[in-house]
Amino acid sequence: MDWKYLPIFPESASNFSPHIDALYAYLVTVSAFFSILIAVVIVVFAFKYRRKSDSEIPVPLNEHGAGSMLLEITWSVIPLLLSLVMFGWGAMIFFDESKPPADAMDIWVVGKQWMWKIQHLEGAREINELHIPVNRNIRLTLTSEDVIHDFYVPAFRTKTDVVPGKYTTEWFRPTKVGEYHLFCAEYCGTKHSGMIGTIYVMNANDYDAWLSSGGTVGSMSEKGEALFQQLGCVTCHQSDGKGRCPKLVGLYGTNVELKGGATVVADASYIRESIVNPLTKIVNGYDGIMPTFQGLVTEDQIQQLIEYVKSIGPKSAAAAAGAQAGTPKNNPGAAANPARGTRP
Ligand code: CUA
């Protein structure tokens, strides 16, 4: 659908935009049709059935048999069907937006009063700007350092709460090179309205040039490894498994058996929790001896540590996660250029 001649929607620049615009067009059309219909009927009936004399008494429906079951059923069933379409259609888009494709490119985001901090796996970092290649599936993993923010890109029709203490994800595939607005869409303090930024969607070559132009030292996982040494994690989490704490090699994405018999998947949220709140989930066979690192590492650093744990994870973890997440669809970018899809 092309809204060029009716500019009530923001620019359409992601894989989701056409679907959401079509759903909105349906919602607006149905609402407008019934609003006008009801308003017209009210006015017409006010004249047609007005009281014509002081002594006039209306005829009760049932005594005359004038009520119509067919009419009652019709005006109940039609709106029911119309609203079920809204529900089904909306749910389909919601599920689509909730499931990032397995080949999605990871980018980490931290919101804080009042800025967006972004880290690319290759090590590039930016503030209030996000550079991404066009026609690639992008998955953002977001968290907040303080209060709830909300990462909102109208041109992509995506909007995700950014919550302290947990990770949320958002994915999209930008379909058009250009610059787009980024907003915080959750009131987060006095400068909430200034918590804005720009998304730069670039050609693949321009993006690669941008990535290598920043002069960044080390990828996220390399920075994470350095932290792992500095913070002394390595003294207990030894790579041969002989340390006092569980070994982290081959851990990422696997099932971990906890004290008490429960299991948990070693994903980003679990590793984050184990760093800031290590005693919440204790691995079976180990003692709860790890101190908390809350306040000692920033959210950015926790993300680097997670990337390090990911980098020493099982080789098959990515493939297994891919099988779980379902087959990637709607991804001409990766299909046209498979080599790019293999980037970690
Ligand atoms: Cu951050 Cu509003």
Say which range, 36-45, 231-240, 256-265, has the weakest mean pLDDT. 231-240
Higher-confidence residue of 261 and 39: namely 39
- Report how far residue 342's alpha carbon sits from residue 44's, in angstroms, rounded to the nearest whole number: 66
Distance 143 CA to ligand 1 centre (A): 12
Residue 257: per-residue pLDDT: 83
Indicate whether 329 pLDDT > 80: no
Strand, helix or coil for residue 133? strand
The Cα-based distances of 188 to 99, 118, 170, 180 in angstroms read 27, 19, 20, 22
- Strand segments (E) across the chain: 105-112, 115-120, 125-127, 129-133, 138-144, 149-153, 158-162, 168-172, 178-184, 197-202, 255-257, 263-265
Say which range, 41-50, 58-67, 194-203, has the weakest mean pLDDT. 58-67
What number does the ligand 1 atom closest to the CA of 148 have? 1
Q: Which two tokens stand for residue 143?
A: 């968290």
**Nearest CA to 328 among 173, 169, 134, 131?**
173
What number does the ligand 1 atom closest to the CA of 184 have? 2
> Does 112 contact ligand 1 (Cβ within 6 A)?
no
Q: Which top CATH class is 1-48+63-97?
A: mainly alpha
For the entire predicted model, the pTM comes to 0.76
- Report how far residue 329's alpha carbon sits from residue 288's, in angstroms, rounded to the nearest whole number: 43
Strand, helix or coil for residue 164? strand
Indicate whether 343 pLDDT > 80: no
Tell me whether strands 115-120 and 105-112 are parallel, antiparallel or unpaired.
Answer: antiparallel
- Residue range 6-39, pLDDT digits in tens: 667 788 899 999 999 999 999 999 999 999 999 9
Higher-confidence residue of 39 and 53: namely 39
Q: Which two tokens stand for residue 335?
A: 């299909």
**Nearest CA to 308 among 252, 258, 263?**
252
> Does 195 contact ligand 1 (Cβ within 6 A)?
yes
Highest mean pLDDT among 178-192, 205-219, 330-344: 178-192
Confidence tier at 338 by pLDDT (50, 70, 90): very low
**Mean local confidence (pLDDT), 201-209:** 91
Indicate whether 47 pLDDT > 80: yes
Q: Which two tokens stand for residue 5?
A: 């001649």
Indicate whether 290 pLDDT > 90: no
Instruction: Report the share of the chain in percent with pLDDT over 90.
Output: 45
Indicate whether 289 pLDDT > 60: yes
Confidence tier at 221 by pLDDT (50, 70, 90): confident
- Residue range 80-101, pLDDT digits in tens: 999 999 999 999 999 999 999 9
Where in the chain are the domains? Answer: 1-48+63-97, 105-212, 220-330
Fold of 220-330: Cytochrome Bc1 Complex; Chain D, domain 2 (1.10.760)
Per the CB < 8 A criterion, the answer to whether 104 and 174 are in contact is: no
Instruction: Report the share of the chain in percent with pLDDT over 70.
Output: 88
**Mean local confidence (pLDDT), 335-342:** 38
Which residue minimizes the CA distance to atom 1 of ligand 1?
149
Round to the nearest angstrom and report the end-to-end CA distance of the chain: 35
Amino acid letter, residue 8: I
Tally Cβ neighbours within 10 Å of residue 218: 13
- Report how far residue 290's alpha carbon sits from residue 177's, in angstroms, rounded to the nearest whole number: 47
**Nearest CA to 138 among 335, 334, 336, 338?**
334
Indicate whether 310 pLDDT > 70: yes
Distance 184 CA to ligand 1 centre (A): 4
Same CATH topology for 105-212 and 220-330?
no
Per the CB < 8 A criterion, the answer to whether 263 and 240 are in contact is: no
**Mean local confidence (pLDDT), 137-148:** 93
Residue 187: per-residue pLDDT: 94
> Does 149 contact ligand 1 (Cβ within 6 A)?
yes
Distance 192 CA to ligand 1 centre (A): 4
> Does 192 contact ligand 1 (Cβ within 6 A)?
yes
Per the CB < 8 A criterion, the answer to whether 244 and 237 are in contact is: no
Amino acid letter, residue 29: T
Distance 53 CA to ligand 1 centre (A): 62
Residue 63: per-residue pLDDT: 58
Higher-confidence residue of 45 and 51: namely 45
Report the phi/psi class of residue 153: left, alpha or beta, with left for phi > 0 and alpha for psi in -120 to 50: beta
> Does 110 contact ligand 1 (Cβ within 6 A)?
no
Please tell us whether the domain made up of 105-212 is placed in CATH 1.10.1060.10.
no
- Report how far residue 303's alpha carbon sits from residue 217's, in angstroms, rounded to the nearest whole number: 16
- Return the biggest CA–CA distance within the chain: 99
Indicate whether 150 pLDDT > 70: yes
Indicate whether 147 pLDDT > 90: yes
pLDDT, averaged across the chain? 83
What number does the ligand 1 atom closest to the CA of 113 have? 1
